[in-house]
Amino acid sequence: MRGTYDHDMPYDPSVYPPFAVTVDLVVLTVRRNALCALAVRRGEEPFRGRWALPGGFVRADEDLATAAVRELAEETGLRPQESEGHAGAHLEQLATYGDPSRDPRMRVVSVAHLVLAPDLPAPTAGGDAERARWVPVASLLAGPGGAAPEPLAFDHARILTDGVERARSKIEYSSLAAAFCAPEFTVGELRRVYEAVWGVSLDPRNFHRKVTGTPGFLVPTGGTTTRQGGRPAQLFRAGGATLLNPPMLRPEA
Amino acid sequence: MRGTYDHDMPYDPSVYPPFAVTVDLVVLTVRRNALCALAVRRGEEPFRGRWALPGGFVRADEDLATAAVRELAEETGLRPQESEGHAGAHLEQLATYGDPSRDPRMRVVSVAHLVLAPDLPAPTAGGDAERARWVPVASLLAGPGGAAPEPLAFDHARILTDGVERARSKIEYSSLAAAFCAPEFTVGELRRVYEAVWGVSLDPRNFHRKVTGTPGFLVPTGGTTTRQGGRPAQLFRAGGATLLNPPMLRPEA
DNA sequence: ACAAAAGTGTTGGCGTTACACCCATGG
DNA sequence: CCATGGGTGTAACGCCAACACTTTTGT
């Protein structure tokens, strides 16, 4: 008889053993021109002493996104975008990982989320600050020809890889790179975000024309700053335009 | 005390109630120039008599993708891409839905998957063929200015919407549209897939140049066919190139 | 002969690249 | 005065939309 395991059937725990459901967080930021991820040192077996992604169990009456926001606040004190266009971090669901052997203790299905955060004055204020650190992605993942990385716990290397790849491709056609910047930022600062995330260098002149020429992408605040040195630069906020068309082009190398 | 619900902690079922985990399938195909989804009539409460997406519980020792493949085979007899570039269907994880109230009976977290299938001779051979049908997406989802759709069970309208949007955007920059075609197909047939999925019409001449001019995208098989009438058309298989650069442009209206 | 679908050639516009050049500040 | 980063101008190139035109079949 087919269809026995159909959605339609009543739930019988003896046939369908329960799963633990967690959220894991890939929290990315740009610090000192390097793409960094939030990582915690594990204090328990398995994988004691290894880096892991922050995360935790979803509560009984809690939505997945709610659980991710709660975990993020517990670990970083960060709060995702309160209002449209305002700073805060960007949070979105990434993917779900459910290999039966991914956690040796039990069957865990983890719903990973991606967070793009501005560089924070205090790296992990308000939470488990002792164990949480910003770690350059390059030292966690083997790049092409890079040195052997510090191994991550569980399948977190896979999750981090997927999160980084998602961030890299999303800034191509959306205004999401601004989520890595302070509420007000210069065109040059935004360009350095692209350069850090993609690992390339971009022509400053053409980049400037491209982003300022896309209507609704950047909104000038009127202020200027010289915090990067040189001639004073205009300050901008992220505009309402969330789609970038035509997209920013990612150079070959 | 923060961090109480941390990933690190041992699993205590009295604190973290168990979840049921299911997979739901958004199976899309193009039939008679219309984008269609596989839907089943529910025979049980809740939502008895409504359309729902096929799906079912993940088994205890089964990966998420494995569960999706099994459900797909049970419902359609279809098997996703056996070998590279060969026909078969395309399957990928879509997103995970875990609102606490999405199923009135219990706490269910559903990992939705997206399947792009060629138009099958027998719509749902090999499975619960009685209840499963191809239904035009336009009649399941309210388009802009369209008539009121037949309501879907649970949050399946949301899931279907997300799946359709993913399919629409993915064919833009990948060779995935070929997953909707027979193993060998003509350029015109591929163009009609784009037109059905996007709901637009494309210039046949420019489309032809674009897809045949992208190296590795299409591989001529040497054969020709006149099954569409008119001058004989070359037959192609999908090539190894999975990324389409520059992307196909989706017209405004 | 005609309709229908497959292909090719050509042209103008627009976006991008590459780079010369000017601007405004700090040291 | 010079270094540094911000910003504008401009020409060559490439891709693409638009459309005229040819090819090869079925009826």
Domain at A114, CATH number: 3.90.79.10
In single-letter form, the type of residue at position B95 comes to A
Query: Looking up tokens 């200027």, which residue turns up?
Result: A224
Average pLDDT over residues A142-153: 80
Residue B170 banded pLDDT, cuts 50, 70, 90: very high
Quick one: A163 and A182 in the same domain? no
CA dist., res. A162 & res. A253, Å (int): 20
pLDDT at B4 over 50: no
Encode pLDDT of B82-112 as tens digits.
555 445 789 999 999 999 999 999 999 999 9
pLDDT at B215 over 50: yes
**Does residue B11 lie in a domain region?**
no
CA dist., res. B15 & res. B34, Å (int): 48
Residue numbers in B near A165 (CB within 8 A):
none
Question: How many helices (H) and strands (E) would you count in chain B?
Answer: 5, 9
CB A121 within 8 A of CB B26: no
CA dist., res. A177 & res. A241, Å (int): 13
CA distances from A139 to A19, A41, A164 (A): 33, 15, 13
Selected for mutation to probe chain A from B6, B9, B105 (highest A CB count within 10 Å) is: B6
Quick one: A33 and A143 in the same domain? yes
Q: What share of chain B is helix, strand, coil (3-state, %, to 5)?
A: 25, 25, 50
DSSP state of A45: S
**Does residue A9 lie in a domain region?**
no
- Number of domains, chain B: 2
CATH of the domain at A195: 1.10.10.10
Quick one: B47 and B149 in the same domain? yes
Per-residue pLDDT, A243: 83
Quick one: A121 and A179 in the same domain? no
> What residues pair up with B96 in beta bridges, in sequence order?
B111
Among all residues of chain A, which has the CA nearest to that of B75? A3
pLDDT at B210 over 70: yes
**Does residue A12 lie in a domain region?**
no
pLDDT at A96 over 50: yes
CB A153 within 8 A of CB A52: yes
**Does residue A13 lie in a domain region?**
no
Among all residues of chain B, which has the CA nearest to that of A61? B100
Quick one: A109 and A37 in the same domain? yes
Per-residue pLDDT, B235: 97
The last residue of one of the domains, among B150, B172, B194, is B172
The residues, any chain, with a CB within 8 Å of residue A49's CB and separated by 6 or more, are A41, A42
Give A188 CA → D2 C1' in Å: 22
Asked if A109's CB is within 8 angstroms of B64's CB, the reply is yes
Q: Which pair of tokens denotes residue B51?
A: 């359309």
Average pLDDT over residues B3-18: 59
Q: Which pair of tokens denotes residue A45?
A: 């077996």
Average pLDDT, chain A: 88
CB A76 within 8 A of CB A127: yes
CA dist., res. A116 & res. A126, Å (int): 18
Among residues A119, A27, A111, A26, which one has the least CA distance to residue A65?
A111
CA dist., res. A132 & res. A122, Å (int): 11
β-pair type (A20-31, A34-41): antiparallel
Per-residue pLDDT, A85: 46
Per-residue pLDDT, A90: 94
Quick one: B200 and B221 in the same domain? yes
Per-residue pLDDT, A3: 39
Among residues A63, A68, A62, A65, which one has the least CA distance to residue A24?
A68
Per-residue pLDDT, A132: 87
CA dist., res. B181 & res. B194, Å (int): 11
Quick one: B47 and B141 in the same domain? yes
CA dist., res. B15 & res. A50, Å (int): 26
The last residue of one of the domains, among B172, B194, B222, is B172
Q: Which of A10, A44, A127 is opposite residue B2, by nearest beta carbon? A: A127
**Does residue B14 lie in a domain region?**
no
Give A251 CA → C18 C1' in Å: 14
**Does residue A125 lie in a domain region?**
yes
Among all residues of chain B, which has the CA nearest to that of A10? B105
Cα distance from A6 to chain B (closest Cα, Å)? 4
In degrees rounded to 5, what are phi and psi of residue A105? Answer: -85, -35
**Does residue B250 lie in a domain region?**
no
Quick one: A53 and A97 in the same domain? yes
CA dist., res. A214 & res. B48, Å (int): 49
pLDDT at A125 over 80: no
Domain with A147 in it:
20-169
Average pLDDT over residues B63-90: 80
Residue A16 banded pLDDT, cuts 50, 70, 90: low
Residue numbers in A near B52 (CB within 8 A):
7-8
Residue numbers in B near A76 (CB within 8 A):
none
CA distances from A234 to A117, A207, A208, A214 (A): 22, 15, 11, 16
CA dist., res. A222 & res. A184, Å (int): 10
Quick one: A135 and A182 in the same domain? no
Per-residue pLDDT, B220: 96
Give A27 CA → C6 C1' in Å: 51
Average pLDDT over residues A42-54: 92
Q: Which pair of tokens denotes residue A92?
A: 């979105």
Per-residue pLDDT, A147: 75
The last residue of one of the domains, among A149, A169, A189, is A169
B138 three-state secondary structure: helix
Quick one: B95 and B76 in the same domain? yes
Among residues A236, A240, A16, which one has the least CA distance to residue B109?
A16
CB A113 within 8 A of CB B126: no
In single-letter form, the type of residue at position B167 comes to A
**Does residue B156 lie in a domain region?**
yes
CB B19 within 8 A of CB B109: yes
D17 nearest neighbour residue (CA to C1'): B206
Quick one: A36 and A153 in the same domain? yes
Which of these ranges, A175-189, A218-232, B231-245, has the smallest mean pLDDT? Answer: B231-245
Quick one: A84 and A126 in the same domain? yes
